[in-house]
A = this chain, B = another copy of it.
Amino acid sequence: MQQQPLHGVTVLDFGQVYNGPYCGFLLAQAGARVIKVESLIGETLRARGTTSAASYPFAMLNSNKESITLNIKSEQAQALLKKMVKSVDVVFENFAPGTMDKYGIGADSLRADNPQLVYASSTGYGVSSGPYKDYLGMDITLQAMTGVMSITGEDDGPPLKTAAAFADFIAGTHLYAAIVSALFSRTQTGEGATVDISMQDCVFPTLSTALGSYYVAGGQPPRAGNRHPGRALAPYNVYEAADGHVAIICIREGHWRKFCKAMGAPELGEDPRFVDFPARSANMDELDAVVNAWTSQRTREEVFAILQEHGVISAPVKRLNDVINDPHLLARGSLEKRPHEAFGEIAQLHTPIRYRDIDPPELTDPPALGEHTEAVLAELAGIDASEFAELKDSEAV
């Protein structure tokens, strides 16, 4: 691979917050030209300002993009878009369902202007069919709707979200995947496509372990805290270390025997209380106490190093400050420390879509709002300086 994989592809990115912008980020880091299209006040994250908590994800997700403003409620702007789509490959958005159609610039309209266009949307529930197709959704409500909250937390506590916004990001990844699949298809057939990604669909497969336990038990398994949902595997928990916690999981009988050796107590591997998965499940509290007694005398990193060396799967429970300084993420080039006007320095991510053949492009700062409007409109819609001034005056751009 001598050039970035999506070299030569041009994209209009109407993304906002995480889901759409992450798709645009992946496209840009894969070498596509990504033109971020924003309202006159900027998309939701930008509008919260550079000193807000939104500023970090905004910087992370919008590097390597151009920015143009387009007031999609304006008929002039709608006409401009219909002109521009003739020279782009992809348009994507994650607006509330029906937004683009309401302004006459939805999939059917734009694909009529350019039959090779890939038009893609990502919404809470998908827009093609079904009773929720017009419903609004965000990460936390999708964690509720998909059952994720019902399986997260302690047995005797309330259902819990995870603060990892994974519903948004797993949908943004599927959105990217669907767009690139359609681009591949277009090289074979010459045709465009309309992509319809539902966050609900994308989260469903992550229930796999819990649903396996559900089908075996014939009902909802306990939330189980950090233990295995079906309580079928042990050790499988978060244990105390001298300076925090460590996660340890033994998914094969051999892992437990290796773990016993790592603890300097190979005889535990033959102890009838712990001899196989059923025995260890039945004596889970006792087993976890044995493990805790060993882990709590060591630091997280000591436990991790000893267990990796013995082929036992474990990890320190890292805090955010550890993660943004993670030696592996930095050495691998996945994270890069870059200046930020309010926070001094931030850890920015390169694309997780990595090839051994080629490095991802250098990260840039996110574009200023509308920084490229005039140049892009000149190039893609043939707008000259006086027409541009008029469009500005009428608040179309």
Contacts and interface: CB of A to CB of B under 8 A. Distances in A.
Nearest to A195: B355
Contact of A328 (B125, B138, B313): B125
A185 B54 CA distance: 34
Interface string A107-141: 10000000000000000011011111101111011
A136 B313 contact: yes
Interface stretch (A246-254, A264-272, A283-291, A364-372): A246-254
A178 B131 contact: no
A296 to B, nearest CB: 13
Contacts of A165: 206, 208-209
Interface string A187-206: 11101111111101111111
Nearest to A3: B189
Given A174-B353, A209-B53, A331-B130, A152 B146 contact: no
A56 B215 contact: yes
A22 B335 CA distance: 26
A208 B148 CA distance: 19
B200 A320 contact: no
A332 interface: yes
A212 B149 contact: no
Nearest to A162: B162
A144 B319 contact: no
